[in-house]
Structure 1
Amino acid sequence: MPSRKWATGLPAVTLLTTALFAGLAPAAHAVPTGCTTSVNGSTASSHCTGGTGQHQVAITVLHVNPAVGYVYNVGPWVSPGAVSSATIPPGTIISLRVQTR
């Protein structure tokens, strides 16, 4: 019968272990808020007005040369209030977005 006692104690041990790990988990980080993107000539930018963390502009372009295909470019990671800018490769913009962390 020792295996029966072990089996009944297993849920309690699992519950205690889960509570321990939940208590040690790091706090969630807030992400930037109020983010917008813009294009000025061959430069794309992102700007976030609030929150914490960082943001960057990300661009996907279908290159003018079909043999090249899709080209991806990103700006630097910056804090809210600062502007992240990146050069737009030649071609048609497929996606212009703000990435946050």
Structure 2
Amino acid sequence: MFTSNAKIPTERASSYLQQLCKHFAHKIDVQFDAQAGLINFPFGSCALAADPERLDLTVSANTQADITKTCRVIASHLERFAFRENPKIEWHAAPATISQAD
């Protein structure tokens, strides 16, 4: 499993979280409230968390190509929705998760 994170400073985190989730909910499985959301694409997922100062995004996928695609989709939509703030979205790869059997 591949994972990338981005933290976007904004006072409108909850608004952007809800806007992203509502947008994608027309086509795919999405769950959200004002503080947290989960968008499930066929090629990956994005967990969102909003606090008063920032929007946290955590993207997960099974392949490097899918993580890249998921990051691009989320970033391009957020950039469109937050065009007044012109957010700088920097993705940081998280260490690969390894599950261990007992």
* Structure with the larger strand share: 1
* Structure with the larger helix share: 2
Using structure 1 for the length normalisation, give the TM-score. Answer: 0.33
Using structure 2 for the length normalisation, give the TM-score. Answer: 0.33
Bigger-Rg structure (1/2) = 1
